[in-house]
Structures are given as C-alpha cells and as structure tokens.
Structure 1
C-alpha cells in the first residue's frame, strides 16, 4: 500500500478519498485553486499545494502543475477523482512517466474507452449492441450536419470526452442543429479540454442502467452489480439507486456479462462503469464506458459493504482483488440504497446555478441508514467556477419502500440558507408517483418538469409558526443581551412587549415568494394570540429547542421542524418546507418591477458569446448573449421586441450578478 497519495480534485470527492486514506493510514495530499484556498478538502488534507487560478483551465486541468505538486510533496500516486483530468489519457501517461502511479486505468485503456466514440466502435466490433450514430474523427460542421440528416431526428449530440451531463444536447430538427452543435462544443471544451462530439439516435423513453466493473493486474475482472440512474434532468443524474427496480435476474445476468466482456477485451485495471440504455422491452444498448469512479458509487458501497476507493488504492498498488469477490459471478447485495444530489440551484428559475456563502447548512446526522458526502460546511462559499454541488445524500434500508421513507426523512432534516437550493425539488421527486412506482425513464423529468417545480399550495399556518419561532428566539436572546448592558433589570430590556396597564403588541414581518407577511403578536413565553389582518390564531404551550417547534394550535398539539438564523427561517411540516426571510417591521420597499428595457446578469459569470450590437432589431425571446457560470451555459434573451441601444459586455468579460449587459431603446 502507498504511504502518501495526491488527490487531483476538489470538493466532496476529494474529501471522500481523504476519509479512506485516513482509515488506511495513507497520508492524503491535496491541491487547490485560488478559489479553493480555504475549502474543506484543503483543511482535511495533511498538506495542500496551490496549482493556479480559479478557473479549471488555470488549475485543476493543469496536469503539469498537479504532477509537480505530487513530486514535491513526496506522493507516490495520484488519485484523479472524477471530472477534470480523471479520463484524460495524456495525463495518465504523464503521471507514469513522472515515476508516479495513476490510480485508475492506463492511458491506453482510456484512449480506447474514455472516448465515447472509440468505445462505441469497439463495442460494435465485439458484438455488443450500440445505438446508431456517427463517431468519426472528421468534425467538420457541414459533415456533421449531413450525418445528422442520415441518422434522423431526434438525435443527441454528445461530447466525446467527459460526462456528468456536460456537452450534451437533444436536437429535434435540422434547423436547431448548428446552434446546438456550437453550444455543445463550447461546453465540452471548457469542461473537458476537448470539443470533439459524436452523434447518435435519440431513443425515446429509455432507462439508464450502469454496471460497476473492476479489474486488477492479475487478470481478474468482476462487476459489482448495477445502478439505475434514470431520473435525470438535462442528462444530469438526479437520483441513483441499486438494485434497479426494472431488471429481472435474467436481464441483470446478461448485462453483467456484457459489462465484464467489455472490460476483459481491454485488460481493464481499476474501477470503471459500463453504461447502457435499456428499452421498455428489456433490449439494451451500450452507451459509454466511464474510466473512473462515478459520483453515484456510494449506493454500491452501501449495499455491498465495500469501500471502492480502498479497492482502487489496493489494485493500483498491485494487489489482487479480494478472492471473495472474484469467485462470485454475481456479488450478493443486501437491501436497497438511494442517492440524491443536493445542489445550490434554483429550480423555479430553470435550475439556475447559485453561488454565495452558506449562511446555514444543516444535514442529517450520519448513521447506519444515512450517509453524507459533502465538500462544504456552513460558512463556506459556493463559487461560480465549479459544479454547485453541496452534498450527496445516500440512504439504505432493507427494501426500496423503506429506503424512500429514509430519504424523505433525511431531506426534511436538510436546511440551506444562503444560495438557493434544490431541496424542494428533491422532496417532490421522492414522493412523485413515477419514482414511487419505479416507472421513470431518463427523459421523464424534462418532459414533465412542471410536476416537480410547480409551487405547492401555500400553507396558511406556516407564517404563524415562523413568527412564533422568531418570537421565542427573541425572548431567549433578550436576557443574554440585557446581562451585558448597564441595567440588566431594566423593563425596557424585555422582549415580550410588556407594558404598564395593557398587553403589548409585537410585529413580526416575514417575506416569502415576494409576499410580505406582517403578523401582530400578543403574549409571551409560548402563549400567543396572532393576527395577520385577515386571520387570527391562538398558539399555546409553544417550545422551540433550536431545531423543532412544538405548540398547541387551536387546541391540537403539533410539531414542526424549524431552522432559524439571523436572516431567515425554514418551517417544515413533515411534507413541505416553507422559507421565510425576516424583515424589519416598519421598513418595507417593494421590489421595483422590471422595466423590460434591460437584460441583467442573473448571477456572476463569464460572457462567452454576444450575438447583437447597438442598432440590432430583436424579437421577444431572441437570444442576445450566452454566459457561462458553474460550467454551464446560460442563454440570455430579449425581454421584449425592440432595438438594441447598448451592449455593455463583451465575450470573455467576467460580470457580477445584476450587472446590466444589454439596454433596449425605450
């Protein structure tokens, strides 16, 4: 086993690899960009080396800087994690030439497998069914357009290198092809350093099922069963689970044999994943091979009781796979595991990636049933330069039904205050009939997104519960503040609005979804009469312990989970969450309506394309600029028809949130 390894990655995967290193007694070394100087993976490692600027091309995609850091640190091997350079064969070769061990397959294997195009050609030659398409080297746009017509629409454009849903577009007509191709190539170039694409026929209503494979340098090749990843939005996996509720034992055996055959044909060493598209009738097509560990690997670990990173390290160090795994054709698994990805993004604004400081971050307490993989803690900042993942929530139980219940409970315990998050979306997802019935396909979310992001009917009680939590918080804080003052016994230091001769009134002002809730409160110490101007409520025996509020509401004892910080409150009734911002009681200025004459940057990012100039006539909804944030492209469109008066950003500019980018003539 190695004494010291360098982790050429960041965020939750770097933290996850560090945990295994600690358990095995291997010293973990990290690298970091300027944006990650105080990140958690830097704090957790034994040492961390700077490798460049905040953008991936300036740091985590700089193989030379990473190898230099490994050599200077005394590391014996490099673990690439996933993303960035993890599937770059030139980097793998460079690591070996430097006298280090690359914890993954060889550069030669990656060249044959890491390219989606090359992998499809290889599988077709081996008799594995593949989806019809074009995988050639010639990337001339005119040729690609002709090939698209030959394949037929709808078709998919995919980055030949990389994964994670980046560089993928579905094109439904020839008119859309050129613009989609350009966008896909730009995104692929930024995310993976290469802009080669492939084309393939788009199969309607497929399921996405992948098999975890492992090989060692002693000739052993195994698979560790499947994961189903059919719940996807724009080809980004949202929910992963194992075992697949769709597979029969016979189909599992056939697909597992195909996965092993693919690996054996390449003398594959270390961890990889063979991904398949599976039709409704059980026919399956090879999709791609990922020559790395997958984001969703924890669900496999939960049902098998394995540490896949440990297996990676041991195989890279020359050890054989455990005999107990090699002698079993199919590895028996226990129970059911599900993973969800918690992101800083706004589902109600097209899943716009978010950034900013995590003022509050609460995640479930890890246990036998719940696992948390995260690269941030409260107080950290989600930056604009990388994926906005906050954490992965993984749950396990004996049955799928029980695991879904565990996941609902885990989500209810999550709270994010700062950048917006997709928690509401995830809570709707795990209760949706398509998930509960296991009938979801990989295009379902995109076809029916409104079912998952539409706002729930408001809970009339939620503002009152939030107000009571704030009142109890104020009452608890007031004595502490008074003790530091000149007169700790002053009646004016009380927070219960006590007045001589009459009951005092306090006003709690809350904001939710652009609406102001102004609640008048009479009473104290957990007993209140509340009035919002249209409705009155009586809450008695209220107690708030910092995480939950219990009270009698109109005589019925109830309990809510509540998260409170200085700026906001989250009230969760067990099914839905309600987010409120605390506002001054006597200062309210409504947000100015958009004039329709300006296009603003929705978040910090970089302008990659400007498609208009002053004097251009535009129509409502016409694309004016393309900006990049969180490794994704965002299309900024005209709010109305008119004439461009000014363009205030150029391609390559970094812009702040709410910066005016384009002005229309009045």
Structure 2
C-alpha cells in the first residue's frame, strides 16, 4: 500500500498535516466515491495551500454523487499505470481471475479507454496481481463478480488500490477475450451453482484469446477541457464490422440531462492481436457518428493514433508506451495525433450530391452554410441561439462565463474583491463533476449569479472591471 490514512479525515487541517509530513504530491480520495468523483490531486506546483480547497471540493463532489462526504488522503504515486483483475467467486470456494485489464487512459481519474489482457507487464507483475487479487477475495470470503485494482508505478512497484464489489463498466473487454459472460455468471453464482467452466471440468482461470479495447463514449467537449455537454442526441449511428460491439444507453432523439454521469455508451473492439485491434478501432471510431451533443469521439480518434498509446518495442515490451493515469490531464494536446482541429471535428455537416464533370460526388457542408436553402428544401428552420459573445456584451467589464450547462457551486472570492487574471473565482458542477472557473482579467469582481443558481453554457456568472 502507498502511505495513507487508515480512517476518513475529520477536517482539511488533517489532510494538510499529512501533506506536510509525507510531502507533495498527495491524493484526496472520497471514502464512498468512485469513477473519479471525489478524487483530487495536490501537486508540488499547487503547494500546501491548495490542500484545503482540494479537500472541500472532493467532499462536495462525493456528496453530490454518493451522498457521503468523508475523505482519505494518500501519497500520490507519480506516472502510475492502473491495472485491475476481474474476479468471479462462487459459493463452492472457487475464486477465478477471469483476466487482467489496463485502464490507464483516464481524465480527471475517470477511465476513458480500457484494454484486455493488460499489456506490457512482466511475468512477475502479472502473477503478483493475479494471485494478489485471488488471495484478497478468498480471505474475505468474497462471492460474486468483483474487480481488484492495483497501481503499477514507474519503477515497477505494484501497490493495491481497492476492490470494486460489482460488475464494472469495462467488463466487456474481459468478456470478449475470455469467452465468459460475466453477468450470466453472476446469476449462476446467485443461484448457488458453480462457475460454468469449472462445472465443465476446465481450469480455474479461463485462457485469454486475442486483444480487446473499450472506448467510453461520453457527452463531453474535448476542445474545452472535457466539460460535460448535456443536450439532445440528434443522430446516433454506430459502426459495424468484424470484432465490433457497441453497448449503448441512447438512440437518436435521446435527451441527455445534466444530472447524471456523462456516458452514452461503449465501443468494444476485438482483434487477434493488439495491433489488429488498434487498426479496427481506428476504422470504427472514424465511422461512429453522434450529433446534437459534443462527445469524446475526437479524443478517441486522436488516442488510437498517439505514439504514447500505440508504440511498442520490437520485442513486444512496452517500448515507448507512455500512458499513465493523469497523462491525459497533463500531456494530451487535442488534435496532436490526427493533425486536425478538434473544434472543427464538432461542426455538424449536411451531405449533398454535386455533379462535377458528369460524375456524382457526395460533399459534406457545415449545416449553417446552407442556411435558408436547406430550410426552403423542407429541412425546417432552427430557433436562433444566443452566442456567448452576445450574452457577454450585456455586461460591463470582462465577463466570467460558464464553460458548460451546470450549477454554480461556490464563489471562492467575495463580490467586490480584487482578483488577478488566472485566479480561481467560482466552481461549476454538472454531471457530478466540478470545474473551476478563473478570472479572465485583473480587476474587481462583480457577481451576477449566486451559489445554487443554474447557468447555461456561456452564461455570464459575473464580470471583472
């Protein structure tokens, strides 16, 4: 285990004292949190003064998502990978490790991409994680599906993280590589039966076949720091082909409210090797179409082409594999791998047929360009939407605007206070995730919306004069 508190803390002062004793960076983790909610990092650059705000923010996030605000604090292991073991345990004493997964691609410590089996581990690390997971569950008398999670530090150290006592979002990558229907096995276990392959006389741990990668499809704006994007999905068109599976919770016309998690669905891609799975994933992500709300599809298209994620040494080892749990937050540059403009990727286009030199061509044109032409053709006209610029023009001074549709959580400074450009002035929350908004200029802050008020995307929260 990494150094940390054994019991939840009673105050931010206790977190501050721990950070003073063990040094930065530290991680503040909600005791009843999960999925990245209620998890905050305080780095050396942030300094000890940032511990208070991080502790209170983690508690608020956890309270909104889980109804409990207690937090632990731990020493943060830098540039770690997240590797986990999928466990199924029946009432007959069988504890099976169905497979290992790598879930290192995360943003704000919530997983975005997962793959199985976990690549680039040494034989020793793989055995340590497998047998460690089995022994933990056996010692606890665990029954059912569960995931035992570990951190693999840059120096190769394996540190236990937690046990998730449920089926996880990323369970499909283990299903398609192991041939085990994890949810079906949960029913067998609940009925008092043995695991199906053990009943058939097969080994305790299923063999793995091929490689699978899962991409979480979230309603978030990659061009603006993965902010939540509630709204109405106008088109949801999934890819097809060999090794492609889509588990989705929405269809065309679904409304995505701002009160829940941002995940719309999951794309799972299988291939006989990791390289083939990556090639199939590139094609599938290019084929996936979602309009009406912004999603993380542009990030995924970037990621499957990023050398940090795809580079492998000739001997099959990790080589230049450079992804770790906060790599997206600290190093990802939108459009860097694809060479495109992420903002441009969100422009919705209308396809029309154009005849050139006697040949028919399909051309995609930004929907707004057609304007009244499309409307006159029967496509209907859209209601005008006020832009951020027009909303901001109604206030004097430099506006402080909301980055997404959400709720004002807390102002960090008082109305009339002097602020400097870059200072955090207010926290906004949507889809159970908080985001800090900074002062756009030096001057005196005048607050327009109060804590608890709803703010549309681009709404003026206040202004700096």
Asked if 1:359 corresponds to 2:159, the answer is no
Q: Once the 2 structures are TM-superposed, how far is the Cα of residue 171 of structure 1 from its aligned partner?
A: 0.6
Q: Does 1:303 align with 2:177?
A: yes
Q: What TM-score do the two structures reach when normalised by structure 2?
A: 0.86
Q: Are 1:217 and 2:91 counterparts?
A: yes
Distance in 2, matches of 1:204 and 1:427, equals 26
Question: Equivalent residue for 1:662?
Answer: 462
Q: Which residue of structure 2 lines up, in the alignment, with residue 520 of structure 1?
A: none
Structure 2 residues not aligned, in runs of 5+: 312-317, 375-383
Matched, 1:441 2:441: no
Q: 1:243 to 1:421 in 2, by over 3 A?
A: same
Residue-by-residue CA offset, 1:236-265 (whole Å, 9 max, x unaligned): 111111112212344322221110000011
* Corresponding residue for residue 275 of structure 1: 149
Residue 443 (structure 1) shift? 2.8
What SS does structure 2 have at the residue aligned with 1:133? coil
> Contact 2:406/2:455 (CA < 8 Å) preserved in 1?
yes
Encode CA deviations 1:593-645: one digit per residue, 9 max, x unaligned: 86652223333222211233432222212222212111111212221112233
Q: Is the 8 A contact 2:247 2:265 kept in 1?
A: yes
SS at match of 2:74: strand
Structure 2 counterpart of 1:348, from 223, 226, 238? 223
Partner of 1:542: 360
2:293 matches 1:419: yes
Q: Name the structure, 1 or 2, with higher relative contact order (CA <8 Å, separation 6+).
A: 2
Aligned partners of 1:181, 1:617: CA distance in 2, in Å?
25
Change (3 A) 1:581 1:453: farther
Separation (CA, whole Å) in 1 of partners of 2:223 and 2:187: 42
SS in 1 for 2:260: coil
CA 394–280 in structure 1, closer or farther in 2 if over 3 Å, else same: same
C-alpha distance in structure 2 between counterparts of 1:624 and 1:384, whole Å: 22
**1:582 to 1:357, Cα distance in 2 relative to 1, 3 A:** farther
Paired position in structure 1 for 2:280: 406
Q: Is the 8 A contact 1:607 1:627 kept in 2?
A: yes
Cα distance in 1 between the residues matched to 2:214 and 2:155? 26
**Aligned-partner Cα distance in 1 for 2:146–2:419:** 48
Please give the per-residue CA displacement for 1:141-180, whole angstroms capped at 9, x wherever unaligned: 2222112212221111111223111111111221211111
Following superposition of structure 1 onto structure 2, how do residues 176-195 of structure 1 map, counting pairs within 5 Å?
176-195=50-69
- CA shift, 1:400, in A, is 0.5
Q: What are the Cα deviations for residues 197-221 of structure 1, in whole angstroms up to 9, with x where unaligned?
A: 1111111221110001111222221
Q: 1:620 to 1:250 in 2, by over 3 A?
A: closer
Residue 628 of structure 1 is matched in structure 2 by 429
**2:214 aligned with 1:335:** no
The correspondence of residues 129-140 of structure 1 with structure 2, limited to 5 A, is 130-140=1-11
Q: Aligned pairs, how many?
A: 434
1:582 CA displacement? 4.4
Deviation at 1:592, TM superposition (A): 4.4
Match of 1:637 among 438, 449, 452: 438
Whole-angstrom distance in 2 between the partners of 1:284 and 1:641: 46
Which residue of 2 is the match for residue 175 of structure 1? 49
- State TM-score, norm by structure 1: 0.61
Distance change in 2, residues 1:458/1:148 (3 Å): closer
The answer as to 2:23 corresponding to 1:149 is: no
Report if aligned partners of 2:440, 2:464 keep a CA contact under 8 Å in 1.
Answer: no
> Mapping of 1:247-258 within 5 angstroms?
247-258=121-132
Where does residue 159 of structure 1 map in the other structure?
30
Q: Which of the numbers 448, 454, 458 marks the counterpart of 1:648?
A: 448
Deviation at 1:283, TM superposition (A): 2.3
CA distance in 2, matches of 1:434, 1:582: 40
Deviation of the 1:650 alpha carbon = 2.0
Q: Distance in 2 between matches of 1:591 and 1:158?
A: 35
Deviations 1:455-494 (A, max 9, x none): 83579xx9xxx78x43x2xxxxxxxxxxxxxxxxxxxxxx
Q: 1:607 aligns with which of 400, 403, 408?
A: 408
Aligned to 1:501: none
Cα 1:211–1:406, aligned 2, differ >3 Å: closer, same or farther?
same
